[in-house]
């Protein structure tokens, strides 16, 4: 799907949005950030994450989310949960919601139509979504839920990186260096 156009020369800023900002959106933030670096799109794209709720502000990732990221070699330890509010529209080009509830909450906070159009579902980029556009909330389930989140995020972010590369132009090396 076409991405919202950049708002100027500043880095293109993406926010991954879920409910608590301790499970789904931090996984998506870490995975997308790593892929952007490999694609030579760092620092032209900056990825944040946030939650619509306030329960976990300041807390690290859920240990189950941290575990699936650690297993892939990522560092999950620096994450601290933040809450989304309308000010995030001031400096973010694209808000990627994990489910319909997060989408509606962010759209309700949007100050204008342009901001509202910048909120879309992450799974709109998942080629295997088959009409199911939710990233299921893994909070109440077992570790399998976190593996499912990771698989969805992996597919969606592959497509997203391609869209971002098309939108922003070819990689600029060195940016950091591509992988060996």
Q: Is 44 in the site for ligand 4NP (CB under 6 A)?
A: no
Q: Is 66 in the site for ligand 4NP (CB under 6 A)?
A: no
Binding letters toward ligand 4NP, positions 97-136, x by CB under 6 A: ----------------------------------------
Number of other CB atoms surrounding residue 124 within 10 Å: 14
Q: How would you classify residue 147: left for phi > 0, otherwise alpha for psi between -120 and 50, otherwise beta? A: alpha
Distance CA 102, CA 96 (A): 9
22: DSSP letter:
S
The one among 21, 29, 33, 157 contacting ligand 4NP by CB under 6 A? 21
The one among 3, 14, 16, 18 contacting ligand 4NP by CB under 6 A? 18
Distance CA 123, CA 144 (A): 19
Catalytic residue among 15, 23, 24, 44: 24
Contacting residues toward ligand 4NP, per CB under 6 A: 18-24, 51, 55, 137, 139
């Amino acid at each position: 799907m076409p991405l919202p156009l950049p708002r100027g020369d500043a880095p293109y800023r993406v926010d991954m949005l879920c409910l608590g900002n301790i499970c789904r959106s931090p996984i998506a933030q870490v995975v997308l950030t790593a892929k952007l670096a490999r694609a030579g799109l760092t620092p032209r794209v900056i990825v944040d994450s946030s939650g619509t709720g306030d329960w976990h502000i300041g807390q690290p990732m859920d240990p189950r989310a941290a575990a699936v990221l650690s297993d892939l070699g990522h560092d999950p330890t620096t994450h601290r949960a933040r809450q989304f509010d309308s000010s995030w529209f001031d400096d973010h080009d694209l808000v990627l919601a994990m489910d319909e509830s997060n989408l509606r909450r962010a759209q309700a906070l949007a100050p204008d139509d342009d901001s509202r159009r910048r909120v879309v579902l992450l799974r709109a980029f998942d080629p295997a979504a088959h009409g199911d556009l939710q990233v299921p909330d893994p909070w109440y389930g077992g570790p399998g839920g976190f593996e499912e989140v990771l698989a969805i995020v992996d597919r969606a972010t592959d497509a997203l990186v391609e869209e971002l590369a098309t939108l922003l132009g070819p990689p600029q090396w060195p940016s950091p260096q591509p992988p060996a």
